[in-house]
Structure 1
Amino acid sequence: MPQLSVLDLTPVRTGQTTGEALRASTALAQIADQLDYRRYWVAEHHNTVSVASTNPPVLIAMLASATERISVGSGGVMLPNHSPLVVAEQFALLEAAFPGRVDLGIGRAPGTDALTRFVLRGQEMESPDEAVNRFPEYVSDIAMLLRPEGVEMAYGSRRQSLRATPLASSVPRMWLLGSSDYSARLAAQQGLPYVFAHHFFGQGTAQALELYRANYQPSEAYPEPRTFLTVNASVAETEDEAFELATPHMQSMIALRTGGPFNAQRTVEEAVEIGFPMEQLDMVHAMRQTWIVDEPKSARERIAEFAYLHQVDEVMVQPIGGARAGDPLDRTPSREQTLQLLAG
């Protein structure tokens, strides 16, 4: 088995408050820490009723404080939504508080709707499209700002030093995230670790990794290309139970891809009762081909084969099992079970 890590979107289900969803994620992170998972990443999504992970730096601070060993990071910060200096300052402080445990994963997509993008950037700031176009520049800016010596910049007729924190003794690990050739090329050019979002698309993975490795330009911090893969996972004592638990998340993903209503996640009982209409069965089949929805032994074997196929020593699982009607609101037993069964 490769080393395992966790991706968490902090899902919000029917009848659950934001606070309860956060407590469920905290409990999940603590279990991952106890089971010796390598890292625990949280995503950035805005204005979405079924996802509470709006602010990765806040969540990282909360989860790092509740755990002891596991690396905690962003999967990822959507850089077009933010000033590079603000991101650098946030993660410099996190690294100072939890040295050696902080990952800064950066993505180029906005991760939200047009209105939220406008409000996040502010009326007086550059357009969202310009922020996307300047993404490579912003990534370089963050790397320089995080260095202990910072960067010297011209301002008017003067030159002035600018740094993310007064005296850094270490810097967070930077990763570029993506689901296209663009991010693979940029990570290779800038000598940065790279993660392909296999859990979201499930296609193009081999091509993106080949492009990244073939074009990698060594950097001082990362002399060799470094990558891992992400995958959705629902693991239970039987394959049928794992599929049942995965049904709410599958329905949410189908709604996202077909323009349907994106509501708080249904309970397992509600989702199973609704099921899937005939026209969605091809999408369900495609998800089952690229997701890990299985019993423990087969799930571990499939993850090992997946890692071997793509020559990675780490796989980040997003535990996507839903909650049953009687489950406590501040825990998600099916997600916890997935981590426990995969860990053996």
Structure 2
Amino acid sequence: MSTHTSPQLSVLDLVPVRTGQTSAQALAASLDLVALADRLGMTRYWFAEHHNMPGVAASSPPVMIAAAAARTAHVRVGSGGVMLPNHAPLVVAEQFAALEALAPGRIDLGLGRAPGSDPVVSALLRSSGPTAEVEQFPQHVKDILAMMGPEGARLRLTSGTLYDVRATPAAAGSPDVWLLGSSDYSARLAAELGLPYVFANHFAGQGMEQIVRLYRENYAPSPAHPAPRTFLTVNAVVADTADEARERALPQLRAIARMRTGRAMRPVETVEEALADRPDHLMGRTIEGLSERWLIGDAATAADELRRLADLHDVDEVMVVPVAGAREDEPLDTTPGRARTLELLSEALAA
């Protein structure tokens, strides 16, 4: 058993879609997983926003958050994140203010500035009129913060008239707002605004230490957040044996490798499909490089590594992306490999 203090455990869910699985089955599996996370006492459960990807069903975080909030009693539910360039700030503010009213004290609004898709889909998302362009990201974050608060935002019209805007007419509280990023841009903005910040370590994999240090050193305390606040994200596959974990990791490793090497995207393979196909040299090297940064192993090994990482980066919370693949004989509306990852990690960290 490790002598390191165990961090709190949270979850980021991309709602993976595997071979032969419908979107409805993938969503049902993720809602079962968030209910499990709630029973296990996890801190928060976030849904990502990605568009037009055959292996990912997480395209609308507010919808998933509402469904998850209705299935849970304790875990915080939120977005990891809402990609703000795709949405009008007032719409985001209204959605998350309504979620806060439905599940008071349990809603997180994680905001990112990437589009979460390709240029064609990004254009379609913005086709109905002016939206939050990347250059306006800082102002739109401020607008959302104001509109979700009990006092609302006060706008000055071109006529000089003042106009009050509230995301809900009688807000009793506001969601926690986090800025997400994989470069120093959002880290600097979060520090300036006195907001919590998360570096997308599970995705970027480089530069976390320097960027988080920049955030902490430049942090300007705010009334809601007097001290900087961050946590670590990591892809995780934990199983009863290390061999089982390596096999369960292969489908998602191959899916990310396909994306990194410019190949056509498709639903996430089953474990059997992934094992049956021998990768070429480029795919093999990419898979090997990715696996070195993921948490893959049995419960004791994975828990010790999580404690080490939390100590190394001075965080008291780790958000895992459970990416264990499924076997062909497992029901399509469940996700046993991802559920086992959460169960084993939770048990090992509590030991």
Q: Identify whether the pair has TM-score above 0.5, normalized to the shorter chain.
A: yes
Give the superposition deviation at 1:183. Answer: 1.1
Give the superposition deviation at 1:115. Answer: 1.5
Give the superposition deviation at 1:19. Answer: 0.6
> Which whole-Å CA distance do the structure 2 matches of 1:9 and 1:249 have between them?
11
Compute the TM-score of the two structures, normalised by the length of structure 1.
Answer: 0.97
Structure 2 equivalent of residue 180 of structure 1: 183
> Which whole-Å CA distance do the structure 1 matches of 2:187 and 2:143 have between them?
19
Give the superposition deviation at 1:154. Answer: 1.6
* Aligned partner of 2:230 among 202, 227, 230: 227
The 5 Å alignment of 1:1-344 reads 1-122=6-127, 124-125=129-130, 131-157=133-159, 158-344=161-347
Q: Which secondary structure state, in structure 2, belongs to the residue aligned with residue 201 of structure 1?
A: coil
> Which whole-Å CA distance do the structure 2 matches of 1:177 and 1:116 have between them?
21
Q: Which secondary structure state, in structure 2, belongs to the residue aligned with residue 122 of structure 1?
A: coil
Q: Which secondary structure state, in structure 2, belongs to the residue aligned with residue 324 of structure 1?
A: coil
Aligned length: 341
Provide, for residues 80-124 of structure 1, a one-character-per-residue CA deviation record: whole Å limited to 9, x for no partner.
Answer: 000000000000000011000000000000001111111111253
Give the superposition deviation at 1:57. Answer: 0.4
Work out the percentage of aligned pairs sharing the same amino acid: 53
Matched-pair contact (CA < 8 Å) for 2:52–2:121 = yes
Which amino acid counterpart does residue 312 of structure 1 have in structure 2?
V
Provide, for residues 15-69 of structure 1, a one-character-per-residue CA deviation record: whole Å limited to 9, x for no partner.
Answer: 1111100100011001111111100000001111111111100100001101111
Which amino acid counterpart does residue 287 of structure 1 have in structure 2?
L
Provide, for residues 174-226 of structure 1, a one-character-per-residue CA deviation record: whole Å limited to 9, x for no partner.
Answer: 00000001111111011100000000121111011100000001111101000
Compute the TM-score of the two structures, normalised by the length of structure 2.
Answer: 0.95
Unaligned runs of 5+ in 1: none
Q: Which secondary structure state, in structure 1, belongs to the residue aligned with residue 133 of structure 2?
A: helix
Q: Which secondary structure state, in structure 2, belongs to the residue aligned with residue 316 of structure 1?
A: strand
> Which whole-Å CA distance do the structure 2 matches of 1:339 and 1:92 have between them?
29
Structure 1 equivalent of residue 3 of structure 2: none
> Which stretch of structure 1 is more off in the superposition, 272-281 or 215-224?
272-281
> Which whole-Å CA distance do the structure 1 matches of 2:123 and 2:206 have between them?
31
Provide, for residues 126-179 of structure 1, a one-character-per-residue CA deviation record: whole Å limited to 9, x for no partner.
Answer: 5xxx70011111111101111101011122422111111001111000000000
> Which whole-Å CA distance do the structure 2 matches of 1:323 and 1:71 have between them?
26
